[in-house]
Amino acid sequence: MRALLISIFLIFCCLGFEVNSIVCDPPVGTPVNEPWGESFGINPGRVVWVLDREATTWDGVNGYFFDSDNLDQSRVDNMLDKAITSLTGNDDVVESWDMLFRDFNKRKHGKENGYVPGQTIAMKINLNGDYGLYIDNNGNEVTPQFLKSLMTHLTKYAGVAQTDLYVYDASRLIMPHFRKMFEQYFPDINLVDNEGAEGSIQRVQPDPTSYLQFSNTAVPAQKLTKLPTFVNQADYMIEIDDFRGHDMASFTLSGKNWFGSIYRPDVNCNFKPNTVNHWCPMSLHQFVNTTSNNFGSYSVLVDLIGHPKLTSNTLFIISDALYAGPSEFDHSSNQDIPSPPVTFEMEPFNNHWSSSILIAQDPIALDSVGFDILRTEPHIPLARMGCADNYLHESALANDPPSGTVYNPSGQGQLSSLGVHEHWNNAYERKYTKNIDPVNGKGIELVEIHLSDD
């Protein structure tokens, strides 16, 4: 029944009907060039968008989109080089990594230290469609080529030992094509997923000493959420999010990605018969449903973004948008299966794959840009559903949010602004306030880099 209802919804979206159960006030897509909140980083408000259409060559039918013939590793490597150096403004990749660590440590610890060998880095990837079976599929998600590039950067340019790196999704499974890539090139990196039942993959464990409370007493088990042990102990996080629509939250970028990091004792997602799985955010879904929550509503995503062990412990956020998709699941059949990528009609994609990497130190700036792209793209109808950017409003103004919530996920005091939020002037110029006024602009600066053009 659920699959049927979702299919009907998608048909209506594709026909151009608005599917909103509430009237969003203010309208979705505001503020336009009126930044809310405070940005941070080496270049505050900077979001780098690298596009290379020649990197992605899948025909959409044969094989997997991540096959070596369909995704050019050398081009992905070059894209990540450009993304990292453009984020810092330094053309040297090694120096750029050092700058990122120093800037993070100065903001978080008050000391401008670089990376120290032995410090650990946990990386959250989003494998939302992968559960139940360790079988490869064409569900749109992070690619092994992108992960290979990022792991090369960390081990070669940042000087991090493989044994100090963790790649995980606590509520899903790491598919064979990921595991094989890691075992071939990075055999000592720690891979962690929900079951730990294949090859070198470890099973996630909650840290009983970790603490995360939700700032609204309506949330079940409000103060009982736990984090993975290695996350609670990590010196740094890197968040690697997907770039797609979502059938409840409208879109998935960095905010919702943290749902795969939390242990919830109040609910059991029994993906397999006779199993108990508390790495499940099911009881939080009502607080991210964009068709039932207006602007000015409490959002659990703000508590996750603001928690000192999650985004607030994150070196940078990066979107693997090489092959993006309309949703996490394809609901066209009677059985939920991962949704494949779709081509993007809008300029500058021009009916090609999304073929992009986006990166920022500011999570709200990154999600603001990502959302502007997704809600503009006709092939991502879910991103136009409901009051989709409420959590961006709440996050940017977390110190004084429209909902009036006292966001305090650590129990140690109300959050400050978590970043800067605004929307671009239009989908053709794609200008934010720092693009319009580089000297006096207080919001987002979008740096577009097109490595190949038709």
Q: Rounded to whole angstroms, how far apart are CA atoms 387 and 385? A: 7
pLDDT at 242 over 70: yes
Give the per-residue pLDDT at 16: 35
Q: Is 16 exposed, middle or buried (0-12, 13-18, 19+ CB in 10 A)?
A: exposed
The percentage of the chain sitting over the pLDDT mark of 90, rounded to a whole number, equals 86
Give the per-residue pLDDT at 129: 85
Question: What DSSP state is assigned to residue 214?
Answer: -
Q: Rounded to whole angstroms, how far apart are CA atoms 70 and 66? A: 6
Tell how strand 244-246 and strand 420-421 pair up. Answer: unpaired
Contacts by residues 149-156 (CB-CB < 8 Å, ≥ 24 positions apart):
149/73, 149/76, 149/77, 149/79, 149/80, 150/80, 150/123, 150/238, 150/240, 150/318, 151/182, 151/185, 151/186, 151/189, 152/77, 153/80, 153/84, 153/93, 153/97, 154/121, 155/186
Name the average pLDDT for the chain.
93
Give the per-residue pLDDT at 154: 98
Q: Mind listing the pLDDT tens digit for each residue in 9-59? A: 333 334 333 444 588 988 898 889 999 999 999 999 999 999 999 999 999
Cα distances (Å, whole numbers) of residue 413 to 227, 233, 371, 406: 20, 21, 29, 9
Band the pLDDT of 440: cuts 50, 70, 90: very high
For the chain, report the end-to-end CA distance as a whole number of angstroms: 44
Q: Mind listing the pLDDT tens digit for each residue in 357-393? A: 999 999 999 999 999 999 999 999 999 999 999 999 9
| Global pTM value | 0.94
Band the pLDDT of 294: cuts 50, 70, 90: very high
